[in-house]
Copies of this chain bind each other. A is one copy, B any other.
Amino acid sequence: MEAHAEPHALAEQEICGLVKGLATQLEVHVRERAVNLDLTAPQATALRELAGPMTMRDLADRMSCEPSNATFIVDRLERLGLVERRPHPTDRRAKILALTPRGTDVRARLLAMLTENSPVTRLTQEEQRTLRELLLRATGRA
């Protein structure tokens, strides 16, 4: 029987499903808030990650997506007048992303909505700290 042969492997598979499940719930949570601002989920996610000026690559890393996808999303945010692409002061290959005044305003309203009823709030502060530690280790960032 499979269950008796590889119990360890089964646990790993379950965790994969749970991680995907939580990621999906978080994306749905973002999407539900984003529509109120006429944004799609990835656009809102990008806006959330733009806590300060950064390059396209930085944004792609923070969103865990490929640079080509960051280009796609920033194109739309720029068209909406929420983000600007500025030249990088020392690296002529790179571009610095900066929020416009409207972008700053929309981002503030977005963050306020995102903090309400997030799936993560099902966990206590202590549990959130533990989860953060485990995710840091699992992703190899710690």
Q: Residues of A with Cβ closer than 8 Å to B?
A: 2, 6, 8-9, 11-26, 48-49, 51, 62-65, 111, 114-115, 118-123, 125, 127-132, 134-141
Contact = CB atoms under 8 A, between A and B. Distances in A.
A14 B135 CA distance: 10
Given A25-B139, A132-B14, A125 B20 contact: no
A68 to B, nearest CB: 15
A110 B11 CA distance: 16
Nearest to A66: B24
Contacts of A23: 19-20, 22-23, 64
Given A17-B62, A22-B19, A115-B6, A12 B120 contact: yes
A83 to B, nearest CB: 18
A52 to B, nearest CB: 9
B16 A26 contact: yes
Contacts of A16: 26, 48, 118, 120
A103 B12 CA distance: 21
B128 A20 contact: no
Contacts of A131: 15, 131, 134-135, 138
